[in-house]
Amino acid sequence: MSNTNGLTNLESLESIAPLDINTIATPPKPRQQRVKVSRLKIDAGNGRIKFLANGYFDVIRSIISTVTTPRNTLGAFEWEGTQWLIGADADVVNDAESRIEVGLLSGAKINYFPHMVLGAIASHPTFLDGATKVKGEKFCKRLIVDIECLAFARGEELLTKLQTIQRFSKDGMTYEVQWRYFTVHPEGYGAAIVAHRQMKELDQHAKQFHILDIGNGTITLTTYNCFGNKPLAGIPRSGSGGGVLAILEKFSEAANYGDHETIYLDQLRKALERSIVIEDNGSKRYQAIVAGSRNDVGASLQVGLRDWKDKHPATRKVLKEVDEALLDGEYVFCCGGGFEIPPIEDFIRAQFPHSDRLIVLPTPGTISLRALEEIKNG
Ligand SMILES: Nc1ncnc2c1ncn2[C@@H]1O[C@H](COP(=O)(O)OP(=O)(O)OP(=O)(O)O)[C@@H](O)[C@H]1O
Ligand SMILES: [Mg+2]
């Protein structure tokens, strides 16, 4: 294993085995046979699995169900005698024997990493076209995969879990898998690549910048050294939790205060995800509409965000460090799905008045994976 430039690169043992030698008589020199490798870039997050392969990018929810009936749908596969379904359909399927929402179960982001990888593969329209036939086998193919992923966790731990998958089936075909190269970047690394490029224009002499990531489970601040050609990550600052789930919890407390009909968490999450900022005669307010009742609980969202800032330990700690960095004249770039929600972005900006060095990156929810496209393979 090597660890350079803030990324960890692991080779699985099989990958160091020599490739088959082509024994054709001419030309006389033995030639190495080309192996077909499928490449997957994946950010298997607490709330959403973002993945990219063959120029196709998609996002699915981090929900994992076991089902009784095999399916031919996207996100469905069979592994170790169990039928799995991953993504939004896993939340609504009516024959689910068990269902896991990754963000709600401690350690699930690591323990269910293999399921999320297979879920991404099974949700990709062409990924399995990269499998090659096994001689004499009609219903078995071979798949060699290189993975590049974003993770807070240790790469060895994720690879060990992944290697428990030796074969899986989808739509009547069994795939024998070889996990070849496995590269782990720090979470938010794609955002750091874009920020690093911007830093070269904003302040050529800056030594470091910061990435603030509001994900589903956590709020994280990571410092990057920006002297060289690539951003080099330091140790991320976060605590437990503090992401959109924590905001949702405080939002729910505020919205369900008093004597009225209960508003369920899934209703509030949808209201939060489509919430907006409304400017009225020079003053701002948040609008968050609950489907069904059409009640606007934007005022409760405002209260919930304030409680999240004041009472959540990880949020308090991280936002204080953001303030330190800004006051020191350093740049803080924001990413993570939290910044796709306008009231969250507005609330964060409001904590740091007159800070033009707090920059929300474009498409903050997906930039961390998508910008990896710019890194050359190797
Ligand atoms: N385009 C969007 N519109 C509205 N809300 C969004 C959008 N994208 C993401 N979100 C919200 O932001 C949350 C966090 O998204 P993100 O993809 O950053 O989480 P994650 O990477 O899965 O979590 P973690 O980083 O904690 O593992 C989502 O759970 C969702 O509620
Ligand atoms: Mg994330």
The architecture in CATH of the region 188-378 reads: 2-Layer Sandwich (3.30)
pLDDT of 95 reads 86
User: Which pLDDT value is given to residue 19?
Assistant: 32
Which residue has tokens 């904590």?
351
Could you read off the pLDDT tens digit of each residue along the chain, which spans 378 residues? 444 445 566 665 343 333 333 333 445 566 666 789 999 999 999 999 999 999 999 999 999 999 998 889 999 999 999 999 999 999 988 888 999 999 999 999 999 999 999 999 999 999 999 999 999 999 999 999 999 999 887 889 999 999 999 999 999 999 999 999 999 999 999 999 999 999 999 998 999 999 999 999 999 999 999 988 899 998 888 777 899 999 999 999 999 998 788 999 999 999 999 999 999 888 999 999 999 999 999 999 999 999 999 999 999 999 999 999 999 999 999 999 999 999 999 999 999 999 999 999 999 999 999 999 876 543
Domain boundaries, the chain: 2-58+101-185, 188-378
Q: Taking the CB of residue 279, how many other CB atoms lie within 10 A of it?
A: 8
Give the Å distance between the CA of 363 and the centre of ligand 1: 11
pLDDT for position 96 = 85
| pLDDT (0 to 100) of residue 118 | 98
Digit-coded pLDDT (tens) for 69-111: 888 999 999 999 999 999 999 998 888 899 999 999 999 999 9
The ligand placed nearest to the CA atom of residue 366 is 1
Note whether 83 and 76 are within 8 A (CB): yes
Pocket test of ligand 1: the residue of 106, 213, 244 to mutate, having most ligand atoms within 8 Å of its CB, is: 244
Cα distance between residue 373 and residue 363, in whole Å: 15
Per-residue pLDDT at 162:
96
Site to probe by mutation for ligand 1, drawn from 216, 308, 346 as the one with most ligand atoms within 8 Å of Cβ, is 216
Q: Which residue in 213, 205, 210 sits closest to 187, CA to CA?
A: 213
Does the CB atom of residue 180 touch ligand 1 within 6 A? no
Q: Ligand 2 centroid to 267 CA: how many Å?
A: 22
pLDDT of residue 155: 87
210 lines ligand 1 (CB under 6 A): no
* Nearest bound ligand to the CA of residue 219: 1
Ligand 1 pocket residue status of 366, Cβ below 6 Å: no
Distance from Cα 15 to the centre of ligand 2, integer Å: 29
Can you name the residues that pair with 146 across neighbouring β-strands?
A: 39
